[in-house]
Amino acid sequence: MSAGGDKPANPFLAGGSNPFAQSSNPFGAPAANPFGAPAANPFGAPGANPFGQDPALNALSDIFQKKFKTLMGQPSGLLDELSGPVKRRLRAVKKLQDEYNTVDDEYLDKVSELELKYAEQLRPLFAKLAQIQKGEYEPTNDELEPLNEYPPEKDPMKDKGIPMAKRPDGSERGVPDYWADALGNNDLVSSFITPNDQKILPYMEDLIITTQFEGASKRTDVLEFVFSENPFFSNDKLTLTYVTKTERKPGGVSEQHDFTGTTINWKEGQNPDSYLIEWTKKVKQKGKKGKKGPAKETKHTRTFKGRSFFDFFRGKEACIEHFKDVCSQESDVVDALTAKHDIKEDDMDEAEDNDKYDDYQNEKMLVSFDSDIEEVEMAMEEALDTIAKEIYVHSYLWFTGEADKLRGSPDMDDDDSDDEDDDDIDEDKLAELLQQLQGGKKGKAKKSDDSDDDSGDDDPKAKGKGGGKQLKGNEVPQECQTQ
């Protein structure tokens, strides 16, 4: 109902649906590129200087930006070009708009009240989910989702050949890696998860989110990431407080986001804040009388700023400053890692078949984003919003990977193509059937050698018993081909 803006998402009943149901699509279309959103500010990030360090150009930049800010929300001058009667009618239209905004504000306040009301009713459901996935409670048969009758669904308890997944402590309780997989199956959130983070997240026992509203203008989500004892940090719980402030502006509703975090007590040698890259470089030595001597290896080391999913717990301002440092070292990171992994331009071109390139990419993720800080900042806020409003309330669908299909993921195209391949007629069987219909030998048609020589077609041995021409494994008679 809001002008130019979307209704605030209900974190517990998206679209009024059951958060555990699979029949509806509570998700919008996924972003194709989590770092590809354009910068909203035409002058760059706040404080960014598009003119470099020249004092005169700096002053000109300040003038432009101040002028731009004063123009925001100002009349376009169109009214000056209109006649008196039209201006009079537009005064009535403006009053109607103001009345709409008043009603819409009341509506948004009521939505916030309803969200709080139903949040309390849904809290026991999330508590039971936590007990099951942590292994504190074993559900009864009455609490199970019925098996599908069509297509028939096999009772999973009869799958004896599948080994039990285990938690980092070696136990088989609950659903191991539940939250690690739910977070990792979202493309946007997983773009902040590094290979090192993938070793930490399996220790995540639970995610608890509580939401508070101050009317329709402010929403606060408190995210508690609960961890079992692990070799990485001593905290048993990490807290993120994610605040969304909504403000009505000309043309719609705008949102501003902020978040604060928890100090992580990293154990010795586990803090991902810095990352050391070591490599050797061969330098050709000059021999006697100008001849080439043996190559000498020199060792190089350099420490870079590391990045991690757990950087979110720094809080917004510190997180952005840290990510700026990460983005600024991009070219130096590439130089160091290409030297370490002996990656050349040809290796990049043949990346799919190159193990060295995979190692290079995995290590590069620890110290690089491959994106500008403006793009990272926007994706950072979207990722936290996604965790609070999508992954938490639909964790089952994200754990199984079904959520992407409900959102219309591009992966669905691949699934469709696989189905089409499954529906294709087996050409060998078709050849066999056609041979039998033509009086050939009973049994599978003999495949001919892969050769361009067609002289074998006149060989009597290539004929079937009834004299019919022997078909190649992938050949269909012309009279039987589809028109």
When comparing pLDDT for 450 and 386, which is higher?
A: 386
The answer to the question of residue 244 being in a domain is: yes
pLDDT of 131 > 90? The answer is yes
Where among 387, 407, 427 does a domain terminate?
A: 407
Give 351's DSSP letter: G
What is the pLDDT at residue 434? 67
What is the pLDDT at residue 430? 66
Residue type, 155: D
CB 166 within 8 A of CB 172: yes
In terms of average pLDDT, the best of 211-220, 343-352, 431-440 is: 211-220
pLDDT of 318 > 60? The answer is yes
Give 175's DSSP letter: -
Percentage, residues of the chain above pLDDT 90? 37
CB 379 within 8 A of CB 37: yes
Q: Which of 207, 227, 217 is nearest to 384 (CA)?
A: 207
Q: Which of 202, 195, 137, 126 is nearest to 168 (CA)?
A: 202
What is the pLDDT at residue 269? 92
pLDDT of 145 > 80? The answer is yes
What is the pLDDT at residue 451? 42
- Residues forming beta bridges with residue 244, ordered by sequence position: 219, 257
Q: Which of 328, 354, 327 is nearest to 341 (CA)?
A: 354
Both ends of the chain: CA-CA distance in Å? 55
What is the pLDDT at residue 109? 84
Dihedral sign, Cα of residue 220, residue 225, residue 226, residue 232: negative
Averaged pLDDT for residues 133-145: 92
What is the pLDDT at residue 404? 78
**Is 434 in the same domain as 382?**
no
The answer to the question of residue 18 being in a domain is: yes
The answer to the question of residue 262 being in a domain is: yes
**Is 394 in the same domain as 442?**
no
Q: How confident is the model at residue 370 (pLDDT cuts 50, 70, 90)?
A: confident
Q: Quick one: CA torsion of 91, 93, 96, 100, rounded to 10 degrees?
A: -130
| Share of the chain residues as helix, strand and coil, in percent rounded to the nearest 5 | 45, 15, 40
**Is 194 in the same domain as 176?**
yes
CB 209 within 8 A of CB 221: yes
Averaged pLDDT for residues 29-42: 42
Q: How confident is the model at residue 96 (pLDDT cuts 50, 70, 90)?
A: very high
The answer to the question of residue 252 being in a domain is: yes
Where among 407, 425, 456 does a domain terminate?
A: 407
Q: How confident is the model at residue 101 (pLDDT cuts 50, 70, 90)?
A: confident
- Residues forming beta bridges with residue 349, ordered by sequence position: none
pLDDT of 412 > 70? The answer is no
| 406 Cβ contact list (under 8 Å, min separation 6) | 22, 25, 26, 27, 397
Within a 10 A sphere around the Cβ of 436, how many other Cβ atoms?
Answer: 16
When comparing pLDDT for 15 and 125, which is higher?
A: 125
pLDDT of 479 > 50? The answer is no
pLDDT of 424 > 90? The answer is no
Q: List C-alpha distances in Å: 373 to 34, 56, 241, 316, 386.
A: 13, 26, 22, 13, 20
CA 395 to chain centre: 14
What is the pLDDT at residue 439? 61
| 262 Cβ contact list (under 8 Å, min separation 6) | 235, 237, 238, 239, 240, 313
What is the pLDDT at residue 65? 56
Q: How far apart are CA 214 and CA 104, in angstroms?
A: 16
What is the pLDDT at residue 63? 56
What is the pLDDT at residue 115? 84
What is the pLDDT at residue 38? 41
What is the pLDDT at residue 154? 79
**Is 379 in the same domain as 433?**
no
pLDDT of 392 > 90? The answer is yes
Token pair of 401, please?
């990977």
**Is 263 in the same domain as 232?**
yes
The answer to the question of residue 221 being in a domain is: yes
Averaged pLDDT for residues 235-258: 88
Q: How confident is the model at residue 423 (pLDDT cuts 50, 70, 90)?
A: very low
Please write the tens of the pLDDT for every residue from 214-229. 887 899 999 999 999 9
Where among 359, 392, 407 does a domain terminate?
A: 407
Total domains in the chain come to: 2
The answer to the question of residue 89 being in a domain is: yes
Return the CATH number at 403.
3.30.1120.90
**Is 205 in the same domain as 263?**
yes
CB 370 within 8 A of CB 330: yes
The answer to the question of residue 119 being in a domain is: yes
The answer to the question of residue 154 being in a domain is: no
Q: How confident is the model at residue 79 (pLDDT cuts 50, 70, 90)?
A: confident
Look-up of token digits 């009341």: 106
**Is 442 in the same domain as 378?**
no
| 188 Cβ contact list (under 8 Å, min separation 6) | 31, 34, 379, 382, 383, 386
pLDDT of 291 > 70? The answer is no
Secondary structure (3-state) at 314: helix
Helix (H) or strand (E) run with residue 247 in it:
strand 237-249
Within a 10 A sphere around the Cβ of 248, how many other Cβ atoms?
Answer: 18
**Is 237 in the same domain as 203?**
yes
Q: How confident is the model at residue 339 (pLDDT cuts 50, 70, 90)?
A: confident
**Domain around 114:** 1-24+80-141+171-270+374-407
pTM comes to 0.65
Averaged pLDDT for residues 375-404: 93
- Residues forming beta bridges with residue 282, ordered by sequence position: 297
Please write the tens of the pLDDT for every residue from 156-211. 777 777 888 899 999 999 999 999 999 999 999 999 999 999 999 999 999 999 99
pLDDT of 31 > 50? The answer is no
Q: How confident is the model at residue 317 (pLDDT cuts 50, 70, 90)?
A: very high
Average model confidence (pLDDT) across the chain: 75
pLDDT of 481 > 70? The answer is no
Averaged pLDDT for residues 320-340: 91
What is the pLDDT at residue 353? 59
